[in-house]
Amino acid sequence: MTPFTVHTGVVAVLNRGNVDTDQIIPKQFLKRVERTGYGPALFHDWRYLPDGTDNPGFELNLPGARGATILLAGPNFGCGSSREHAPWALGEYGFRAIVAESFADIFYANCCQNGLLPVQLDREAMGDLFRRAEAAEPAYRLTVDLQQCQVRDASGLAVGFTMDGYLRETLLEGIDEIGRTLKLEAEIQSYERHRASLQALLES
pLDDT digits 0-9 by tens, 71-121: 999 999 999 998 899 999 999 999 999 999 999 999 999 999 999 999 999
Work out how many domains the chain is built from and give that number. Answer: 1
CATH number where 48 lies: 3.20.19.10
CA distance 25 to 46: 11
Q: What is the mean pLDDT of residues 1-5?
A: 93
Pairing verdict, β 141-145 and 150-152: antiparallel
| Beta-sheet strand order (sheet of 150-152) | 117-120, 97-100, 70-73, 6-14, 141-145, 150-152, 158-160
pLDDT value, residue 127: 98
What range does the domain containing 62 cover?
6-173
CA distance 27 to 147: 36
Would 152 be classed as within a structural domain? yes
CA distance 110 to 154: 30
Would 188 be classed as within a structural domain? no
What confidence tens digit (pLDDT) does each residue in 143-174 have?
999 999 999 999 999 999 999 999 999 999 99
Burial group, residue 139, by CB count within 10 angstroms (0-12, 13-18, 19+): middle
Would 197 be classed as within a structural domain? no
Would 1 be classed as within a structural domain? no
Q: What are phi and psi of 15, to 5 degrees?
A: -85, 65
pLDDT value, residue 191: 67
Predicted TM-score of the model (pTM): 0.88
Would 203 be classed as within a structural domain? no
Answer with the residue of higher pLDDT: 195 or 27. 27
Would 181 be classed as within a structural domain? no
Would 201 be classed as within a structural domain? no
H or E stretch covering 124: helix 123-135
Would 183 be classed as within a structural domain? no
pLDDT value, residue 34: 85
H or E stretch covering 6: strand 6-14
CA distance 3 to 146: 10
